[in-house]
Amino acid sequence: MTQKTTKSPWLWVPSLYMTEGIPYIIIITVSVIMYKQLGIANSDIGLYTSLLYLPWVVKPIWSPIVDLFGTKRKWFLSMQLVLAIVFICVGFSTSGNSFFFMTLAFFWMGAFASATNDIASDGMYLIALKPAQQSFFVGLRGTFYRIGMITGQGLIVMLAGYFETSLGDNTKAWSYTMILVGGLMFLLTAINFFTTPKVEENSSETRKREASFGKVFYTFFTKKNIGISLAFVLLYRLGESQLVKMASPFLLDDKQTGGLGLSTSEVGFLYGTIGVIALLLGGILGGIAISRHGLGKWMIPMALSLNLPNLLYIALAHFQPENILFAGTVVIIEQFGYGFGFAAYMIFLIYLAEGLFKTSHYALATGFMAMGMMFPGMISGYAQEWLGYTGFFIWVGLAMIPALIIAKTVKYPREFGKKSD
C-alpha cells in the first residue's frame, strides 16, 4: 500500500507544478528570447537551445535512483535550490565575449536539475493521489505547470523588456532578469517546503523495486503496444516542437526579415496576459472533459485542437499585420487549443506509466516526449532560415498529418481517465 497525504491536493499541486514549469520554460524558451536579443543567429539558437532538451531525454537513466533512494520530497526540494543558484549564475555570466557558452553551461546544469526535479515531483503526484484524483487534477496540474511556463515566457519576459527599455542595455537587462528568476526559485522552494506532504511508498513496495534495477526498463519496454505508444509520444507534438523554437524570433524579428517587429515587452504581454487566460480555460476544460467521458472520446478532437491553430501563423507571416490585435488573437486561439489538446497527451502518459514502477516509467515516457521536442527543434532554425517564416509555418502545418494519424492509431482503454461514478 501507498501512504496517502492528509493535505489537500488543492494546497500543494499548484505550487509544485508551477515550480516545474518555470525552470523548464526559462531554460528551453526564454533562453531563445534572451539569445535573440543578445544578437545570436536563429540557426545557433535553434540548435543549441534544442540540445538543452537532452537531460529530459536521458533522465530515465537516473530516474530509478530517485525511485529507490531517498524521498521524492527531498529530491525535488534539493533540485529546486540548485536551480535557484544556477539562474543567479546565468545572470552574472551575460557579459563578456564568451557569454554564449558560459550561460549555456549553466543552463545545462539547470536542465539536469530541472529534469530531476520533474522526476521527483511527478513521482509525488503519482504516489500521493488515487487514480481518480490523478485524472481530476490533471487539468489543475497541467494548468499550473503552464502558468509557471507563462510566468517565465510572459511576465518575466515583460520584465526583461522593461529593463531593456529603461536601462538601454540588453546585457544588463537580462542579467538583472536572471538574478531575479533565481530569487523567485528560492521563494517557490520555500513554499513547497511548507505545503508539500511527507508521503512515500511503504517499505514492502520499496523492497520490490530494489529487487531488480534493470527490471524498471524491462517492464517498460515490454508493455503491450509499446512501439505504437512511443510513436504517439514522439509525434503528437511534431508541429509544436518546431513552432515553439521559432515563434518568439518571428514575433521579435523586424518586418524586413519577415517578422512582426514586436518588442520584448509586447511578446511578454501576449503570452503573459491574454495567453494565460486562454490557456487556463483550455487546460481546465480538457481535464474535466476526459474525467467525464474518458480519453477515447476526446483523443482526436484534442489532437486537432493542439495542431490546427498552428496554421494561423501562416497568415501572420504572410500579411505581417501592423495591429498587435491580430497577433493577440492568434495567441488566444493557439494557447486555448494547446491547453485543451495537451490534456489528452498528459493522460496518455499517465496510462503509459501504469504499473509497479510508476515514477520511473513516467520518467521514461516523458524522456521520449522530450526527444520528440529536441530533434525537430534542433533543425527548426535552419529550416526557418532556408524557407523563410511563411514557408516554415507551412511546413509546421504539414507536420500535423503524422500527429493526427498516430492519434487515431494508438491503443489505450477508451474509458481511461474517466472518473468513476
Question: Which pLDDT band, with edges at 50, 70 and 90, does 203 fall under?
Answer: very low
Secondary structure of residue 418 in the 3-state scheme:
coil
**What was the pLDDT predicted at 2?**
47
The residues, any chain, with a CB within 8 Å of residue 269's CB and separated by 6 or more, are: 154, 158
Residue 1 included in any domain? no
User: Which domain CATH number covers 275?
Assistant: 1.20.1250.20
The pTM of the full predicted model, rounded to 2 decimals, is: 0.77
- The mean pLDDT of the chain is 86
Contact predicate 239/118, CB 8 Å:
no
| The C-alpha cell that represents 148 in the structure block | 509557471
| Three-state SS sequence of 175-223 | HHHHHHHHHHHHHHHHHHHHHCCCCCECHHHHHHHHCCCCHHHHHHHCC
Read off the amino acid at residue 51: L
What does the alpha-carbon distance between residue 390 and residue 257 come to, in Å, rounded to a whole number?
11
Residue 207 included in any domain? no
Residue 414 included in any domain? no
Q: Which helix (H) or strand (E) holds 286?
A: helix 275-293
**What was the pLDDT predicted at 331?**
86
Residue 42 included in any domain? yes
- Long-range contacts: 111-115, Cβ < 8 Å, 24+? 111/27, 111/52, 111/53, 111/54, 111/55, 111/56, 112/55, 113/23, 113/79, 113/82, 113/83, 113/86, 114/20, 114/23, 114/24, 114/27, 114/55, 114/56, 114/79, 114/83, 115/55, 115/56, 115/59
Say which DSSP state 310 is in: G
| 75-90: pLDDT as tens digits | 999 999 999 999 999 9
Residue 334 included in any domain? yes
With 80 as the cut, is the pLDDT of residue 216 above it? no
Residue 421 included in any domain? no
| The C-alpha cell that represents 80 in the structure block | 529546486
Residue 4 included in any domain? no
What does the alpha-carbon distance between residue 385 and residue 284 come to, in Å, rounded to a whole number?
37
| The C-alpha cell that represents 70 in the structure block | 531517498
DSSP for 229-275 reads HHHHHHHTTHHHHHHHHHHHHHHHS-GGGTS----HHHHHHIIIIIH
Residue 208 included in any domain? no
Read off the amino acid at residue 209: R
Q: Which helix (H) or strand (E) holds 295?
A: helix 295-307
With 90 as the cut, is the pLDDT of residue 151 above it? no
**What was the pLDDT predicted at 176?**
97
Number of folded domains that form the chain? 1
N-term to C-term CA, the chain: 23
Higher pLDDT, 390 or 134: 390
- Directed axis angle between helix 99-128 and helix 9-25, to 10°? 160
The residues, any chain, with a CB within 8 Å of residue 93's CB and separated by 6 or more, are: 99, 102, 103, 106
With 80 as the cut, is the pLDDT of residue 188 above it? yes
Q: Which of 94-103, 113-122, 261-270, 360-369 has the lowest mean pLDDT?
A: 360-369
Say which DSSP state 94 is in: S
Question: Which pLDDT band, with edges at 50, 70 and 90, does 391 fall under?
Answer: very high
With 50 as the cut, is the pLDDT of residue 217 above it? yes
Contact predicate 59/366, CB 8 Å:
yes
What does the alpha-carbon distance between residue 68 and residue 257 come to, in Å, rounded to a whole number?
52
**What was the pLDDT predicted at 277?**
81
% of the chain at pLDDT higher than 70: 92
The residues, any chain, with a CB within 8 Å of residue 82's CB and separated by 6 or more, are: 109, 110, 113
Nearest Cα neighbor of 275 from 330, 230, 322 is: 330
The whole domain housing 225 covers 9-197+213-409
**What was the pLDDT predicted at 52?**
92
Contact predicate 367/57, CB 8 Å:
yes
Say which DSSP state 414 is in: T
